[in-house]
Structure 1
């Protein structure tokens, strides 16, 4: 690991959590240079919904490159883009009765969020945007302004004006936080300017796998309509099937004005896509550009992913089935160790959180113990107190169960060490 320690910036992160050199990957398995196999319950922070080196995707990419397909084309028309757009329209938008224009932004999630915020302000002629406690929308300056995570906000020394934070669903327990929001909007002296948009994750990934209810989302949409505010759903981490449905907001039967997509929309390759209602398409030609706005290789990867996984309900049904397996096992583990840890289990689809409520430092220790058991699992939450489960959607049941068994061994060892330490102290 010396090359990384000597020459890579101190900003590196995941390499510290998983200190080995990986050389290959397949499906839900990562293999290091010592030929040790690790089960991946992180999946590129939600980028690898279809697994590592999916054969369908790899074969399509190889064929495209061997035929000299266009790799870089700015925003020019290419066959790869045309075929992706046609496929996305036919398989995703039409069946859901969604009418959206597509804008290909720079290839990262934060690029997409920046574009959505810029367009919302342009359309509405207002500067304020409302975001939510524990929300995460990216680390470039505009996205950071609507990101609640203090760990990321402290070091930037930027102006964080034009953003107002409101409590997410469940932030005050059973209290309806949208009553709080409505009070601020109704009061002309609240100090909260009428926003151009409200941006929200239906499942807060980095924030701790905080899950909003269908009722809360429907009421939020109603407030947006009542006050002429644009509703932006950030589906970058929990879209593309992560919740079971392709879009994470489908279960609530809402129709957002904008949807940001990245991570798995590119089939594992860099790509970001902003969807917005046609009447919002008020850009002048070239008004918002970027050298890599539209990755043709990602168009190819995404098209084959859509064709093979979204022609029917098979993947959705598989995700809901595997959710039951995941949730049941996590609840069993929590119950076994309730004498040591106060644990809360929550999530939807294959995005689940395992929160250690009585000691926020324990989640990081669990992740380290899990790595020793050859399991890749990360943490999230305001204090890093939640172990986050994001396995590939295509993971087979046997591998899912084996990964959960490894997780159980890790937490059992940690609980034993904790008990031993307490005994020694007394």
Structure 2
């Protein structure tokens, strides 16, 4: 008998916490992955329109990033260095300057707060309060910003908020764009309570917003709404934080999701695909005049992930030295949207939404969305749901997915919707 035979074959159920989630909807054991595909240990292949919840914008095991990482490890490059200066960090910061900041005229300082998106958000909230001396932060309905306490306080989902176990304070929700379905102008309420001394709203330190709410149901803010929000913040000396953890790194087309609106946030958070290869990395970027930190005032043991610096540099240098990748992403986004429109037009109660290569099918009958995802899995396609009632089928495919792969995936979605709606 081999060692593996002695191991409980259902070790996940035996030893892993009940908190696990994705493995419940995709009951297989994955072994290898490449490009837009994952393969189970049984040899079955799955087209991946999930991409690590937006962490694998450049696909699984991107060969350019993998080679850079292997070369770095082979030469005994530094793996862990807290926030010490390293060759890998220097190359990454130079790449950010060269490929992102200078071409866009952005004068941002870069902070490494810890390796996850919620770390970046926590640092942003702390910095905004330190700069302004104010406590309150305005967030938006259906927002999602992370699972630690500060991030949860500006998150809308009640199930996730309830998990905190304590009151989540110093945050006030406001209606996101089109929250009232066009019946009322969203900013009428926001601007009114800011200016009304009897409203009970303390002047906030910051407003935090996603330009496209991913977990909230692929709610896309209009450029004019984002511009109005930016102007509102500037007029009232309130810092604007854009959470680009999921929608940054080209997901909506341009590298930063706020570029299409022509705004310059005071603070920007990045994680997920900024590491390129799926390695943990997060950044909090902010205007230089906001850099009021004292040394070590905010830190973390894993804030200097050097292997991730290597793959992140490879991603920026290979995909963002010009606008070719951006244009391809927008073209592919149109291809996917047209395919989804065709599906939605065939059924009542089904609609589309999205921007770039974050696209979705929304179902009036919420349970249909999870049923479509289950049917798609059986046909070899990975999809997840989002939205307050899990009523949205969300597509977050790698941006490197080919046209043929998109057509294959859309065909599976069409068959899955037909099966469910029948």
1:346 aligns with 2:361: no
Tell me how far apart the structure 2 counterparts of residues 205 and 148 of structure 1 sit (CA, whole Å).
12
Structure 1 counterpart SS, 2:388: coil
The 8 Å contact of residues 238 and 248 in structure 1, kept in 2 or not, is answered as yes
Q: Which runs of 5+ in 1 are unaligned?
A: 417-426
Residue 159 of structure 1, CA deviation: 2.2
Corresponding residue of 1:331: 341
Q: Paired residue for 1:229? A: 238
Q: Which moved more, 1:400-409 or 1:379-388?
A: 400-409
User: What CA deviation, in whole Å up to 9, does each residue of 1:84-136 have, x standing for no partner?
Assistant: 00011111011011110000011000000000000100110000000000000
Which of 77, 87, 112 aligns to 1:79? It is: 87
Find runs of 4+ consecutive structure 1 residues off by over 6 angstroms. Answer: none
Superposition map of 1:3-82 within 5 A: 3-82=11-90
Residue 270 of structure 1, aligned match among 280, 284, 290: 280
The CA distance in 1 between the partners of 2:154 and 2:116, in whole Å, is 16
Question: What is the alpha-carbon distance in structure 2 between the residues aligned to residue 413 and residue 384 of structure 1?
Answer: 19
Residue of structure 1 equivalent to 2:421: 415
1:179-220 CA distances to partner (integer Å, 9 max, x unpaired)? 210001001111111000000000000000000011000110
What CA distance in whole angstroms lies between the structure 2 residues aligned with 1:415 and 1:147? 32
The Cα RMSD (Å) is 0.8
Hey, what does 2:186 align to over in structure 1?
Answer: 177
Q: CA deviation at 1:313?
A: 1.2
Q: Secondary structure at the match of 1:285?
A: coil
For residues 413 and 343 of structure 1, what CA distance do their matches in structure 2 show? 14
Query: Can you give the 5+ residue segments of structure 2 that lack an aligned partner in the other structure?
Result: 1-8
Deviation (angstroms), 1:314: 1.2
Task: Give the structure-2-normalised TM-score.
Answer: 0.97
Give yes or no for the alignment of 1:91 onto 2:99.
Answer: yes
1 CA distance for matches of 2:159 and 2:32? 32
Post-superposition shift, 1:157? 1.8
Q: 1:337 Cα shift?
A: 2.5
1:336 partner SS: coil
> When the two structures are superposed, what TM-score results if normalisation uses the length of structure 1?
0.96
Q: Distance in 2 between matches of 1:104 and 1:7?
A: 33
Check conservation: 1:141, 1:158, Cα contact below 8 A.
no
Q: Is the 8 A contact 1:373 1:407 kept in 2?
A: no
2:262 alignment partner in structure 1: 253
Distance in 1 between the 2:187 and 2:271 partners? 28
Tell me if structure 2 keeps the 8 A contact 1:379–1:386.
yes
C-alpha separation in 2, matches of 1:398 and 1:362: 26
Taking the aligned partners of 2:346 and 2:221, their CA distance within structure 1 comes to 28
Distance 2:419 2:91 in 1: 51
Q: Which moved more, 1:171-180 or 1:230-239?
A: 171-180
